[in-house]
Structure 1
Amino acid sequence: MSFFSLVSILISLAAVSSYINYRYIKLPTTVGVMLVALVASLALVLIGPYAEGFREQAATMVSQIDFNQVVLHGMLAFLLFAGAIHVKLEDLGREWLPISLLAIFGTLFSTFVVGGVTWLVLGWLGLGIPFLYALVFGALISPTDPIAVLGIMKSVGAPRQLEVQVAGESLFNDGLGVVIFLVLLQLAGFDEAAGNGVAAPLSIGVGAVGTLLLKEVGGALVLALAAGFITYQMLKRVDNYQVEVLLTLALAMGLYALADALHLSAPIAVVVAGLFVGNQGRAFAMTEKTRVHVDGFWELVDEILNVVLFLLIGLELLVLPIERGWLAAGVLAIPIVLAARWLSVAGIIGPLSRVRAQPQGAIAVLTWGGLRGGISVAMALSLPANDSRSLVLTLTYFVVVFSILVQGLTVGRVIRKTSRLTAGSQSSSRL
């Protein structure tokens, strides 16, 4: 099947799923589309014995999609830039401490807690995997992906402070999570899969980890600021919204590709550049007409790609190598990840609330609203072929599906409940 045919099918399926959700299911678009895709995939699995060849054709189509390349080396550039360009540095500045602590220490803490507990649980179930590979699972499942929840938080009137914290954390812990994942994957003895699909051994000293992190993150920051400044100077010298939209598109795509080629953290580079252009560029290098068109363009790109991404997550069920003995492990992985998230959030927000006011229920909202999404699935699918890969992929899929369908659909209730508690406590204090 040609690339154009494959993309045409995906866009058509995304459009039909969006229509079905809008007319009949009425869930948030991304969640509804994923639910439709999951139900369709499950139906194909169930009718497979009675519709010979039909499920195989659908699975063959899905297997032609390199999820890792599509997400980590394609969609992610657009999604992160679209998210960063609408975030105000002023808001991030006010919440820099909780955002940085959650994105850095929260992600690291969650990685080791999830990895360690998962290793123990899998050993208890007789499904033991190497400890470093369990840590790899912790790294790929720890970054939050609140694509679906941000819209819900706005619609139910969540405190602005929480919106900024969730958005800021997700923008930066995606990039950091990818870096930690790659470092642990190398420490585990593997780099990316070789061309024949067999894992390629790699050795790296523990002492080199700090240097690698400095290169990945520090180099990305320098490259992003340089590229952002050059783009900003170009934006100042033109007054044509078509050209300016094209310049922002070139920045997102070109910078991501260049950082990738230089082995720097491409996600962090794109986020920093998006923040630079979205604040400095919007304020001093764009007219009002240009700002409207740039905002509209990136909002549309964000919406379309999110719908396609969640459709792909649902369709992955057709090719997921789930074994019956792994179901218990997949179910147990859900509370493990949630508990690690709660511990990391409570360990950071709790002490901070003593020196700086936090919204009522911040720990509950940040815990339940820390969704996992396509980035985690993409990293799991990028794992080299070995005895542990399929099990880790199954655990990841269980957590992601639960996160999006259950947490994504109920986080609004958590926000409303905490808002009522806040209003009630304020009324009591006034009395």
Structure 2
Amino acid sequence: MPELQISPPDPAGSTGKEQQAAGVGILLQIMMLVLSFVLGHVLRRHKFYYLPEASASLLIGLIVGGLANISNTETNIRTWFNFHEEFFFLFLLPPIIFQSGFSLSPKPFFSNFGAIVTFAILGTFIASIVTGVLVYLGGVMFLMYRLPFVECLMFGALISATDPVTVLSIFQELGTDMNLYALVFGESVLNDAMAISLYRTMSSVNSHVSSNKNFFMVIVRFLETFVGSMSSGVGVGFTSALLFKYAGLDIDNLQNLECCLFVLFPYFSYMLAEGLGLSGIVSILFTGIVMKHYSFSNLSENSQQFAAAFFHLISSLAETFVFIYMGFDIAMEQHSWSHVGFIFFSILFIVVARAANVFSCAYLVNLVRPANRQIPLHHQKALWYSGLRGAMAFALALQSVHDLPEGHGQTIFTATTAIVVLTVLLIGGSTGTMLEALQVVGDGHDGPLGEMNQHQILEDQVASVAVGKPSMVDGSKFKHRYLHRHLQPEAGSRLMDGWELETGCN
């Protein structure tokens, strides 16, 4: 009866095991997400700023990954936690960036747009070159593991991508100056595109694909990418605005279609830019800005509530999952801890490079700004301190393992991992203390732009409550935070009277 053995049962059993492993892997991810949200809520409720939500998520991933690493966990389950760069760039990053643009207050962002571009383009370029040169000189002087010069520049490019998610959340919680928030936020979004462009250019130079490129062409290429990405994002945003205004989708039986289209347009913008060889990050950011101020108002009231809640929900999930995902992979990956000197001196060098970035660019910006628009020294120090490294640097470092020889790529990846963990946990945890020491907490009324924005925010909240629309923050908490921290006492008194008159608050 040999013919009966032609179809062995092994493939079916193997498929069943893979499905079971997938279920267990997804279950663990959901459990870690639930734990992160609950722990983050408890920490935020008790105003425990020494362990922000992003740091708590990273720690949870590290702990669970460490436990899985020392246990006899099946290989099939572990594969569900591997950090894939494509999954990060195509699925996790877009909703985070879109929500950033969608919830952005445009006045401080565009009022500081020249400074933001200076920090993001020139500053990132300076930080990359300074880091790369110092790492190369450190290797030549036998202070650390020696890398070729182009590979040092690749490391400088990837490690210059800042990701101040933790810092910005504390900025919002404590109520810092809107101009400072706009500078930190704008730089972090745009310098990601610059860092990716620099890294890819240096990688192509290293592989001798285009060895004739020089640094001037890098800047020209980035400007082309930036302008093209911004144009595509703005174009998609205005296209959606025209569609929602004239297609008549705001009737009851078409609200489902309206919501579906509003969710699809951001991804269309991101994938369009990526397909054209541009920056999806920049494109979806400007799509979010345009759609909030032109498309959102053309939606029906129910669709507006759904869109605002949906993008806030999906970005929160993606952001939390990124840090869990990263922490788990850090614990599970093979690292090269034999070059501790490379890690130590790299941390020192990026601190120096960040200072060269911030203070030189701030000096140039202040040269062309009037006296009342100058970036003060304590804001410059806050900018310097807020240069955390996060998921973008980690994803590029993981890519360098494939792009570089085994020893070199592994050393860069291990150093980047250590830098990400240290900056997120130590700098993120000390951000509240830093803001108080620099006296930037609650100084939103220092400049005319900050005062105008705080009044505008309060007026928007009053108007939303007056017409019965849902407010993004609780009324009593909002009054406490903005009236007592940002507005003058007499202005607060007048606005309080107006608030009570229109809302009936006691």
TM-score past 0.5 threshold: yes
Greater CA drift, 387-396 or 103-112: 387-396
Identify which of 11, 14, 31 aligns with 2:33. Answer: 14
Q: Are 2:52 and 2:166, in contact at CA under 8 Å, matched by a contact in 1?
A: yes
> How far 1:180 moved relative to its partner?
1.8
Identify which of 414, 421, 429 aligns with 1:409. Answer: 429
Distance 1:204 1:164, change over 3 A: same
Letter in 2 for 1:380: A
Measured in 1, the distance between the counterparts of 2:364 and 2:236 equals 38
Map 1:179-218 onto structure 2 (within 5 A).
179-189=197-207, 202-206=209-213, 209=218, 212-213=221-222, 215-218=224-227
| Larger gyration radius, structure 1 or structure 2 | 2
Map 1:415-430 onto structure 2 (within 5 A).
415-419=435-439
Letter in 2 for 1:183: T
Letter in 2 for 1:203: S
Map 1:32-431 onto structure 2 (within 5 A).
32-45=56-69, 48=70, 51=71, 53-54=72-73, 59-63=78-82, 65-66=83-84, 68-123=85-140, 124-125=142-143, 127-189=145-207, 202-206=209-213, 209=218, 212-213=221-222, 215-236=224-245, 237=247, 238-239=249-250, 242-282=256-296, 284-287=297-300, 289-353=302-366, 355=370, 356-359=373-376, 361-383=378-400, 384-385=402-403, 386-387=405-406, 388-419=408-439
- 2:432 is paired with a residue whose SS is helix
Measured in 1, the distance between the counterparts of 2:353 and 2:40 equals 33
Letter in 2 for 1:316: D
Measured in 2, the distance between the counterparts of 1:335 and 1:126 equals 12
Distance 1:151 1:227, change over 3 A: same
Root-mean-square deviation (CA), in Å? 2.8
> How far 1:21 moved relative to its partner?
5.1
Letter in 2 for 1:217: F
> How far 1:280 moved relative to its partner?
2.6
CA deviation map 1:207-235 (0-9, x unaligned): 66466435533332332232222111122
> How far 1:8 moved relative to its partner?
4.2
- 1:184 is paired with a residue whose SS is helix
Measured in 2, the distance between the counterparts of 1:22 and 1:90 equals 30
TM-score scaled by length of structure 2 = 0.73
Match of 1:31 in 2: 55
Greater CA drift, 203-212 or 88-97: 203-212
TM-score scaled by length of structure 1 = 0.85
Q: Are 2:96 and 2:315, in contact at CA under 8 Å, matched by a contact in 1?
A: yes
Distance 1:55 1:159, change over 3 A: farther
> How far 1:408 moved relative to its partner?
0.9
Measured in 1, the distance between the counterparts of 2:379 and 2:415 equals 28
CA deviation map 1:288-314 (0-9, x unaligned): 554333222111111111110000111
Q: Are 1:360 and 1:419, in contact at CA under 8 Å, matched by a contact in 2?
A: no
Measured in 2, the distance between the counterparts of 1:211 and 1:20 equals 45
Letter in 1 for 2:30: I
Measured in 2, the distance between the counterparts of 1:34 and 1:11 equals 15
CA deviation map 1:78-135 (0-9, x unaligned): 1111111111332222111221111111111111111111222244245211211111
CA deviation map 1:354-385 (0-9, x unaligned): 64333551111111112211111111112225
> How far 1:328 moved relative to its partner?
2.5
Segments of structure 1 that go 5 or more residues without pairing to the other structure are 190-200, 427-431
CA deviation map 1:166-206 (0-9, x unaligned): 111122112222122211211121xxxxxxxxxxx633531
Measured in 2, the distance between the counterparts of 1:380 and 1:216 equals 22
